[in-house]
Structure 1
Amino acid sequence: MKFILGKDRQQTCLFPVSLEDSIESDNSVRSIDQFVDSLNLAELGFRSDFIENGPPAYNPSVLLKLYIYGYMNRIRSSRQLEKECRRNIEVMWLLESLAPDHNTISNFRKDNGKAIKKVFFATVQIARNFGLIGATLIAGDSTKFRAQNSKKNNFNQKKIQRHLDYIDNKLEQYNKALEQSDSENEKEEIKKNIDKHQGRRNEYEKLNAQLKASGEPQISTSDPDSKHLIVRNNITEVAYCVQSTVDADHNIPFDYLVTNKNDSKAMGEMLQRAKTILVTNTFTALYDKGYHTGSEFKTANQLGIKTLVAIPGIGRASQAPDPNYNSEHFKYNKENDTYSCPQGNILKSNGSTYKARNYRFKQYKTNKCKTCPVRALCTTSKVNGKMIQRSEYHQYIETNAQSVLQNPNAYKKRQAIVEHPYGTIKRQWSFDHIMTKKTMQRASADVGFMFIAYNLTRIWNIIRKANTCAFKAYKSFIRFIVSILMGFKVVYEENSENKILVYS
C-alpha cells in the first residue's frame, strides 16, 4: 500500500517562504494584530516609559497581542506562551519573531490590570458601533473561579481555634511525657517536638491577630483577597466571584467585576455600572433569585431601571402547615397599615420598627388567633399566634413579584443570555480557575483577558457570518473593524470604589 511521503529534512528550498506568506489572509491572527495596533496603549494605561539602563524593554503591544492570541487559543500559562513564541508560526508572525521570556510575559499581566479592563471596554465599543448591543434587555449573573489558594490555607476563627486546641493538647501530652522520661535522648526528642508545636502555635496566634485586625470572617494566606465561597449546593471552594452583565441581542458581555462576595448585594452596583456604560436606563434587567434583596430593589428603583428577579421559595421555618395560609395570602392595607388574613381578621402593628441584620421591619399580629378555628392550619406558634414581618423594602419586593408574574416569557430568556459566555469560557475553553494570585486586581487581569478573547471571537464570528459575501476579502474586513475602532473616543475607567467613569 502506498502512503503520502514527507519531504526530506535535509532538502534546501530555492525560494524560501516568508512568514507573511505562511499566514493565510483570513487567519484570525491578522485581526488581533490590527486590533492591538489600532489602540493607543499609553492612553489606556500601559506603561510605555522605561529606564534606559540594560537591554531595551518590549513594546506593550507585543505582549498584549501574545496574551490575546493565547487566550483565544486556550493558552494562559506564561511558560507555555514562551514556548509558543519559538515554535508556533502564527505567534512568530504576530510578534515579528520576538520571544519574550516567561517572567516578562507574566509580569505584563500582573502589572496591567486596569489597562486590560480598558482593552475589554474597547471590544464593547466595537460591538456597539456594529449595532450588536441593543441595550433593551440585559441579564446579570455570577460564576466562581477557583483561586490559587487551597482550602488548607484558608482560615476562619473556628478553624484557627481548632488548630490551637489540638496543639495545646499535644503540648500537654509532651510536657507530661517530659516529666516522666528518664532518658536524656528521649527528653531531647520531646523538647524538639515541643519547640515545633510551639512554633506552629505562634503562627496560628499571628493568623488570629491578622483575622481580628482585618474585621473579615476569614483569611487566606496564599491569595489574601480570595474567599471560601459556596460554588454550588454544599460544594465550597476558595475562589473569586465574577459578576458579569450581558446584552440579550447577541449574548455579548459589556461589563464584568471580580469580587470575593456572594450575589445578595451585587445587583445595585452592577445596574449602576450598566446605566453608565449604556448611557440609558430604559433597559430591563434579568437576575436569578440569588440577587433577591430588598435594598438592591430600592437601588434599582432609584436608578429608574426595571428589574425581573426570580422569587425565592419561602423558607421551611416560615411555611404555614397549610400553604394557603402562608403570609403571601395575607392582604396589606396601605391606608391603615394593617394586614387581613384569609379568615378576615385584621393584623395590626404596634408602630415599632425592629432592626435585623441588614434592614428594619415591623411586626403585625392579632389576638384573634387565640380563638381562630383554623389556627392549626395557619401557624405552629403556641404563644403569639400568626406574626407577619414587613421590611422597609417590601413595596419594592412586591413590585418585582408583580413584574415577574406579568412578564414570564421575558424572565425565561435570562439563562440563555447570561450563561452563554460562562458556558463558553468555563466548559469549552476550560478556564475554571484564576491563574494569578496575591491581589484581586491581578485576578481581574486574568478574567479580563477571558472576556476580551470571548468578545473578539464572538464579534468577528457574528459579522463574518452575517456578511459572508461582503467580506470574502478578509483584509478589507479587518480594515473595516479598524476604521470603526479608530472612531472610538469614549474611555471607561474604574475608580477605587469600582464605579465606572466615562470620558469623551
Structure 2
Amino acid sequence: MAVNFVTVDRETPDLFPASVQEYLPEDHLARFVVEIVDRLDLSHLVAAYAGTGSRPYHPAMLVALLFYGYATGVFSSRKLALATHDSIAFRSICANTYPDHRTIADFRKRFLDELAGLFTAVLLIAQAMGLLKLGTVSLDGTKIKANASKHKALSYAHANRLEEQLKGEVEDLMRLAEQADNTPRPAPLDLPSELKRREQRLAVIAAAKAEIQARARALRGRAGRVRTQARRARSPSRASCPPPAAASSRPTTRRPTSIPRRT
C-alpha cells in the first residue's frame, strides 16, 4: 500500500516571506529574552556609538544575542556567530542579520562592566516574574544559606542576598565566555573547492555513490568466490576418491549347484 508522505520541498520559494516573529513558538526563551532586553535602559550603550561613520549593530540586539547564548551554554563568539546562521532561535534574535565573531567579541570586551549589570537586571526581572530558571541559570535562590520560611523569603535582606547570588551567576557566565574566546580555535572544516557549488557537489556525490556500489559488488563477488572455495574444500574431490574395482575377465571356477535326481 502506498504511503502518503508529507511533501518535502526545498526548492519552491515562499510566496509570502515569513516574519522572524513566526520562527518561534510564543513561549520560547529567545522571545522572552528579547522582550526583557528591549525594556532595559540601554541609552548609555547607544550613546557610545554617536559620531561613528559606519552602521553598527544595535546594542539591544547584541545584548540579547550574548545573554541568550550564555544562558543556553553557547559562550564562544565564533559559535555565537555561527549560530546566527544555523539556529532558528539565534536568527530570530538577530532578525536575519549576521554579526561576525569579531563584532561580538569586541562588543563584549568594550562593554564588559555594563553587560554584567544588564545581565543581572534580566535575571532579577525573570525571578520577580516567578521563574525558577532562565536557560541554565537558577533563579530560585537555592544557593542562599538562609532560613527558608515564607516570611524570610520575602524579606529585604533575602532579596539582597538573592541579587548577590544572581550577580555571581553572571560573573560565572562572563568568565566562561572569556575562557571560550581565549581557547585556540579548532581547525575549520574546509570543503574542497569542487564541492562549494551545488551542481558540482551533486556530480561528486553521484560519482562517490557509483564508486561505493562498484566496491560493494566487488566485495560480494569476492565473498562468493571464498564461499565456493570453502564448499569445495569441504566436499571430497574426484581425485581423492579410490577408483572403482575393475571387472574381472577370468571365467568363474565355481561349480554349478547340482540338482538332486528324482527317483
TM-score, normalized by length of structure 1? 0.26
More strand by share: 1
More helix by share: 2
Which structure's CA Rg is the greater one?
2
TM-score, normalized by length of structure 2? 0.47
Higher RCO (CA < 8 A, seq sep 6+)? 1
